[in-house]
Structure 1
Amino acid sequence: MITDVNNWQQMAEQCLIKGNYAQAANLYEQAIEQEPHVTSYYWHLGLLLLLQGQEAEAQMTWMLPMAEADTEHLSKLTNVLFQLLQIEAERREKLAEYSLAWLIRQHMKEINPDEMNNLLQILLLSLKREKFEEIEEMSQWGLIESLKLKENLDIDAKLLMQVLQKILNTVPLHPINLDLVEACLPYFPDADQSFRILLPAAMKIGHTLQQPKLAASLLNLHLQLEPNNVEILRHLATFYQDARNYCQGIETAKLCYSLSESLADKIFALHLLLRGLMSAGGYWAEICTACKELETIEQQFIESQPIILEEGRTLRLLTPSFAIPHIKDSPVDFRGIHNKVAQIFNNNIKEIAQSESKSFKFQNINKSTLNISTKKLRIGYVSYALRNHSVGWLARWLFQHHDQDKFDIHTYFINYKLVNDFLQEWYVNHAGICHLLGMNGLEIAEKIYHDEIDILVDLDSITLDITSEVMALKPAPIQVTWLGWDASGIPAIDYFIADPYVLPDNAQDYYTEKIWRLPQTYIAVDGFEVGVPTLCRDDLNIPIDAVVYLSAQRGYKRHPETTRWQMQIIKQVPNSYFLIKGLSQEEAIKRFFYQIAEEEGVDCSQLRFLPQVHQESVHRANLGIADVVLDTFPYNGATTTLETLWMGIPLVTRVGEQFAARNSYTMMINAGITEGIAWTDQEYVEWGVRLGKDEALRQQVVLKLKASRQTAPLWNGKQFTREMEKAYEQMWQMYIEGK
């Protein structure tokens, strides 16, 4: 029996806090015996039984005082009980005892199933416990419908935003998310809050999880609050284009440009427009107009310096240059502008880093004691593309053959993608010490610096702004660009890997990086996986004795002048057909080819447009349907050229002056093939006609290519790796000698 009337409840409270639930329950049971009319005792006792796992007993205890209560009194009783449970649930939440808090709130839901804030708390607790079943039950709860109706809704808007953000971060691809976001729009305190929640979620969905269509839908909801938010429109244009919704991607990019005021913003808006037009293919007049405008704005930007730019605008400066080499082969003019923009980029990034105390200083090397033969060089590779991507397919042999006894290999995955990608998984297992990183350039550079990397190799060039930022920060004493694209022009990069062919002899005159020419080839592979073909001539209604030409490139590389040469070849070779494959907007690219075919007097029935295949191995197998592959110009194939040569198919390429116009040339030379290398426009047509008409010549090339697999530098990944390693050692030796 309770004897201390004044302190027994305090004792019970202390027992509750200490987890002595049975002892506390005993006190309340004694209290009920002495004062059975005090309803609060039943509430506390029921709670203590619940905490001991006796849910049925807890509910029965709570029901006892309610059995004889009238409707008005019953409502008051349940409100008091609800408040008591809420206090305990909140206490458990602060203690991070989420399972207990969740259990208590489930019983609160049974007492008052329409209390929206409790439902939101249950969702939040489920996410914290990584139990996602309640998200499926949102529709049954009527939560979204209630949010949309807004009738007599007493809701904690801050809690709602917290739940929405947690759901988008935890289960970003859940099918209910769009409905939930739409229902939440009226509850955002301002458009800025929506921006801070929806844009990061969309970027994760669109880029990291590779669901651009869903990401675009999410950003479209924000536009209901801010129709002219340029930052949202930039990302929306990208997601539309990535989802192959080219028309909306182009129109959104045009809107971005019309709303852009600063020169830096206009540069990036033009990049988005060119990205859309070139991906779609077939918009040549608009591409040329946008390209001229881009060059004009870039020149104005250079002349207007100094312009203070924050990090976001600075990061967007380099990528727009990617379009221009697809349009014309003028490396002296191109690099004259691009290198100046890269210098501005580099300077701005350094200033931003210094403002955040992120500048890196390397330790002085004691040259008298350091010997290259005893130093195990630490090589770092940084890229977003070590996955199902051209860089991923081509770089793996270097990692496969690296001498682990002489080199410590570190690989830095930028924006590591949370997707099922066997090639990405291969790199994680074979690329030395792997660092799976996000999109913060300053943090990535700091990681590389603290890992004491000796030579940092950039595999992306300007194709990703974050990689460019990392390289501009100079986290390693020696920095190199290889493979991903042409040289970036960033002053913080020391060397650009090339070979005797892929750049002309005078290229150093207009490169800021020191060109390091490997003795034979700047790229080599041991081969490719080849699957079972899904194409045959019968399916395409092509006669067995026809001559089949093929071009397999993205819409980006479709230049009308090159297409005109290709049509001239088809016209001159009897019984010939031209297969066209590559990502693009179907109607636009057909219009593009049909118009040029008609202008050149080619029957459009000789053209075939091939569907995409999802497996790279099947794509390679399907190349075998071609007798001759016709390369693009002024931007050659790279991966597609290697695949063509590996499959033993004759190739016609036009050699230019820029890196992108000489890829196929160096690959053919390093495969032991000169047949099909054209130095003029006319030679391109002549080689195409000759290889089409002369079956014996084609067979000769096929045999050479098959034999080259055993002897050619292009197919010797191990030898290439030794040459790269030798280059690294020489770079390091020059560095420690102060050269």
Structure 2
Amino acid sequence: MIALNTSPSLHQRANEYFLNENYIQAANLYEQAISANPEIKSNYWHLGLIFLLQEQEVEAQTTWFMAMMEGEAEQVNVWNAELLEILETEAERQEKLEKYDVCEKIRQNIRQIAPDNIHNLLHLIHLYIKLETYTEETLSELNIFEIINATTKTDINLEILGKTIGSVLHYTQLYPSTIEFFESCSLHFTENPQALMNIFIAAAVDIAYSRQQPKIAVQLCEIYLRLDNNNPGVLGHLASFYQNSADYELGIETAKTFYSLVERLPEKIFANRQILRGLMSAGGQWQESYSVNQRQQDLLAELIAANPQDLTPMDVSILLNSNYFAFYIEDNIAKNRSVQKKILQICQENHNIYAQAQVEKYAQGHLERKKQRISQKKLKIGYISHCFKSHSVGWLARWLLQYHDRDKFEINGYFVNSDNVSDLLHQWYINQMDKVFKSYNVWSLAEEIYQDEIDILIDLDSITLDITCEVMTFKPAPVQVTWLGWDASGSPSIDYFIADPYVLSESAQEHYQEKIWRLPQTYIAVDGFEVNVPKVRRDELDIPGDAVVYFSGQRGFKRHPDITRLQLKIIKEVPNSYFLIKGLADEESTQKFFAQIAAEEDVDYARLRFLPDAPTEGVHRANLDIADIVLDTYPYNGATTTLETLWMCIPMVTRVGEQFAARNSYTMMMNAGISEGIAWTDEEYVEWGIRLGKDAALRQEIAWKLRQSRKTSPLWNGKQFAREMEKAYEQMWQNYTTTCVTTEQV
């Protein structure tokens, strides 16, 4: 508050009244001051402000206008500046008090006095977002684009501008005006593009993955690259955004540019992985994929030999899933798991160096809790994932959450994503948890888990998400388990990996860092799937009603040339058969890939059909009914797709291998009581495919067995599965609590 030109006691009393929101008494003092000294204009400014705070906006504006009406232009400008300073100070005070509606009213009056005040407009944008009154038209109503484009770089506070960009990107990502706003603001960062990168890149990642809008993320990156066209950090993300937008060619090209710009070994490994990701996602570009993967293996071997101990947190983050695609290229459990373990060991060792204080704090905290041996009524189970939404893992994990015994277990969810109010499954998961915590920050997630005193932390992502994997390296819970989302990560911070008698062979333990914990029957069970109305018909696909229809629905990087060749051998040998192919990949590349192998195997390309993605999961499942036989992929089987196939009572053929990913369909078929279609060699795969295609009676028998399995199979008993998982949790906790404390200290 500006001092009254009266006695100090009067000034003090006015301030006290004002701060205590006794506006009537404060107004009386200002009116006295105006009567005594009408030439002191600041008293009018304060009196008008008091009227404004009492929602007497007309009186406020009249008070200010009357004080200025006799002034010359130069004087009025000075008075306006004084008034604006008072209003700005009070707006800041009200915002600190979190009285955003009051603050917004003050700033609207500032806008009337100074409509081109860019900083006031930026503050208003913040307030609209906080008050949830921001709309698609807000920026144009504020005339923000014209004003910000007319503002010189020296006249704008980049800190305020950056904060506003961050807010708009976070809360209003999907508005078209957001892109225009970002583009206009970016021009003010030409001399400091890194500051802009620090603001927008996290939002771009959120937009691309959690919001599933990679094309918007692409636009943001392309705007930024006009300022800094060879920024490796942005190019690395942009490669993924292009690939997720199905712009595979640009994704691969950008990844190759990224690779050419980096020199450090961890960055080379990440950049090469981005190239491989693009090639594999596109599908059909297998020869180059083999070459790039060999280079990846050479780079990883170089890293393992060097065994660096000075990696940065960013290095660790990009190395965690650097060997991801090896499991799609080759079914070699000894080789793939060995590399995986060694990479994760290096990551863990470096993490323990730069995060030493937090890692030691957690370890000591676990030890103290263990020494106290406090008996708890409930075990505290934490689930961490980015898949608590409409995602394969989300559809499968829900049954365990639904059937958890809440008298024995307290369930917390650690969501590595932002709110997605339009996703009903996301909201369902929120309702299932005793507590939900959401963040992208690995340090915050780890600290929250530790402070919540989670007993057993279940990782649903493994290395499919670097954030989740890195949280696990902190060891924020005393017992940590990987389940469902992928094969085991190989991290030394993980105690157990959930399997069953089939999905890993008896000798698999020698290849795993984690202790394999085998459930008695199956490592996954569901009660079933929602099925909608189908959207495909044979006549619309120009397929005869009496034809034998084979189906394969997998992403491009699961369509290994070797298994595709076997599939087409089957088509060739079964008269009047057709092959339906569905899955996210580059359409042109995929069709060229199949055409080449069809020509080599002397299969009429006209017998192949390529289906687009279904609009919903329920429609996708209903569409499966068009198929007579489903042909599984190898060396990486289906998982959710296999369960959906079996639920729809469709016979399938799978090739069983060594690694976890090559045995998913095997365990699911065995747990559904089906052995027909399980092949242990390439020859058996073709034989089963031909036999099922030619023997309609056998297909009917399998379909009947699958339908009957719904009544008794452990695969379709989510409640029983929940009890088995809970028993495993209790045994894991007992193992931990009964381990001698002195042994741990040694």
Same fold, TM exceeding 0.5?
A: yes
Q: Which amino acid aligns with 1:551?
A: S
Q: Which amino acid aligns with 2:390?
A: N
2:273 — aligned with what?
A: 271
Q: Which amino acid aligns with 1:418?
A: N
Deviations 1:666-708 (A, max 9, x none): 1111111111111111111111111111111111111111111
Segment drifting more, 417-426 vs 567-576: 417-426
Shift of 1:153: 8.2
Q: Which amino acid aligns with 1:203?
A: V
1:463 — aligned with what?
A: 464
- 1:208 and 2:207 are equivalent in the alignment: no
1:363 — aligned with what?
A: 367
Give the TM-score, by structure 2 length.
0.91
Inter-partner Cα distance in structure 2 for 1:369 and 1:191: 54
For residue 484 of structure 2, give the secondary structure of its aligned residue in structure 1.
coil
- 1:614 and 2:607 are equivalent in the alignment: no
Q: Which amino acid aligns with 2:177?
A: I
Deviations 1:18-57 (A, max 9, x none): 6555555556656766777776665555445444443334
Inter-partner Cα distance in structure 1 for 2:724 and 2:85: 69
1:398 — aligned with what?
A: 400
2:417 — aligned with what?
A: 415
For residue 182 of structure 1, give the secondary structure of its aligned residue in structure 2.
helix
Residues 1:16 and 1:642: Cα distance change in structure 2 (over 3 Å): closer
- 1:114 and 2:116 are equivalent in the alignment: yes
2:89 — aligned with what?
A: 90
Whether the 8 Å CA contact 2:582–2:610 is kept in 1: the answer is: yes
Shift of 1:272: 1.6
Segment drifting more, 689-698 vs 488-497: 488-497
Q: Which amino acid aligns with 2:265?
A: L
1:310 — aligned with what?
A: 312
For residue 490 of structure 1, give the secondary structure of its aligned residue in structure 2.
coil
2:696 — aligned with what?
A: 695
Q: Which amino acid aligns with 1:281?
A: G
Q: Which amino acid aligns with 1:642?
A: L
Whether the 8 Å CA contact 2:309–2:349 is kept in 1: the answer is: no
Shift of 1:5: 8.5
Inter-partner Cα distance in structure 1 for 2:460 and 2:310: 29
- 1:577 and 2:578 are equivalent in the alignment: yes
1:648 — aligned with what?
A: 649
Q: Which amino acid aligns with 1:363?
A: L
Q: Which amino acid aligns with 1:402?
A: H
Residues 1:447 and 1:18: Cα distance change in structure 2 (over 3 Å): closer
Inter-partner Cα distance in structure 2 for 1:252 and 1:504: 41
Q: Which amino acid aligns with 1:537?
A: R
Whether the 8 Å CA contact 2:91–2:106 is kept in 1: the answer is: no
Whether the 8 Å CA contact 1:124–1:163 is kept in 2: the answer is: yes
Shift of 1:636: 0.7
Segment drifting more, 609-618 vs 503-512: 503-512
Inter-partner Cα distance in structure 2 for 1:24 and 1:419: 46
Q: How does 1:374-389 map to 2 (within 5 A)?
A: 376-389=378-391
1:598 — aligned with what?
A: 599
Whether the 8 Å CA contact 2:420–2:426 is kept in 1: the answer is: no
Residues 1:557 and 1:221: Cα distance change in structure 2 (over 3 Å): same
Deviations 1:197-235 (A, max 9, x none): 111222232233332221221122221222222111222
2:173 — aligned with what?
A: 172
- 1:56 and 2:58 are equivalent in the alignment: yes
Shift of 1:495: 1.9
Residues 1:565 and 1:12: Cα distance change in structure 2 (over 3 Å): same
Q: Which amino acid aligns with 1:360?
A: A
Whether the 8 Å CA contact 1:503–1:657 is kept in 2: the answer is: yes
Residues 1:59 and 1:602: Cα distance change in structure 2 (over 3 Å): same
Shift of 1:423: 1.8
Whether the 8 Å CA contact 2:482–2:496 is kept in 1: the answer is: yes
Residues 1:435 and 1:694: Cα distance change in structure 2 (over 3 Å): same
1:627 — aligned with what?
A: 628
Whether the 8 Å CA contact 1:353–1:359 is kept in 2: the answer is: no
Q: Which amino acid aligns with 2:615?
A: H
Q: Which amino acid aligns with 2:245?
A: A
Inter-partner Cα distance in structure 2 for 1:328 and 1:296: 16
Residues 1:26 and 1:614: Cα distance change in structure 2 (over 3 Å): same
Deviations 1:500-523 (A, max 9, x none): 221123212222222222222222
Question: What is the aligned-residue RMSD (CA, Å)?
Answer: 2.9
Whether the 8 Å CA contact 2:42–2:82 is kept in 1: the answer is: no
Q: Which amino acid aligns with 2:367?
A: Q
2:743 — aligned with what?
A: none
Inter-partner Cα distance in structure 2 for 1:22 and 1:146: 38
Inter-partner Cα distance in structure 2 for 1:437 and 1:151: 39
Segment drifting more, 330-339 vs 91-100: 91-100
Segment drifting more, 601-610 vs 479-488: 479-488
Shift of 1:364: 6.0
Deviations 1:229-281 (A, max 9, x none): 21112222222222222222222211121112111111111222222221111
Residues 1:473 and 1:138: Cα distance change in structure 2 (over 3 Å): closer
| Structure 1: gaps of 5 or more residues | none
Inter-partner Cα distance in structure 2 for 1:228 and 1:124: 32
Inter-partner Cα distance in structure 2 for 1:612 and 1:435: 32
Inter-partner Cα distance in structure 1 for 2:412 and 2:18: 53
Whether the 8 Å CA contact 2:116–2:147 is kept in 1: the answer is: no
Q: How does 1:31-42 map to 2 (within 5 A)?
A: none
2:515 — aligned with what?
A: 514
Deviations 1:395-452 (A, max 9, x none): 222223333333333333233543422222222223x423222122233233333333
1:708 — aligned with what?
A: 709
Segment drifting more, 555-564 vs 120-129: 120-129
Whether the 8 Å CA contact 1:90–1:101 is kept in 2: the answer is: no
For residue 176 of structure 2, give the secondary structure of its aligned residue in structure 1.
coil
Shift of 1:63: 4.0
Q: Which amino acid aligns with 1:94?
A: R
Inter-partner Cα distance in structure 2 for 1:335 and 1:366: 32
2:450 — aligned with what?
A: 449
Whether the 8 Å CA contact 1:246–1:585 is kept in 2: the answer is: yes
Whether the 8 Å CA contact 1:578–1:606 is kept in 2: the answer is: yes
Shift of 1:344: 0.8
| Structure 2: gaps of 5 or more residues | 741-746
Q: Which amino acid aligns with 1:208?
A: S
Q: Which amino acid aligns with 2:497?
A: F
Whether the 8 Å CA contact 1:146–1:153 is kept in 2: the answer is: no
How many residues align? The count is: 729
1:435 — aligned with what?
A: 436
Q: Which amino acid aligns with 1:185?
A: S
Segment drifting more, 156-165 vs 516-525: 156-165
Inter-partner Cα distance in structure 2 for 1:425 and 1:627: 36
Whether the 8 Å CA contact 2:348–2:473 is kept in 1: the answer is: yes
Inter-partner Cα distance in structure 2 for 1:386 and 1:349: 27
Residues 1:444 and 1:23: Cα distance change in structure 2 (over 3 Å): closer
Inter-partner Cα distance in structure 2 for 1:729 and 1:13: 66
Whether the 8 Å CA contact 1:552–1:640 is kept in 2: the answer is: yes
Q: How does 1:12-51 map to 2 (within 5 A)?
A: 14=15, 19=21, 21-22=23-24, 25=27, 46-51=48-53
For residue 289 of structure 1, give the secondary structure of its aligned residue in structure 2.
helix
Inter-partner Cα distance in structure 2 for 1:564 and 1:731: 44
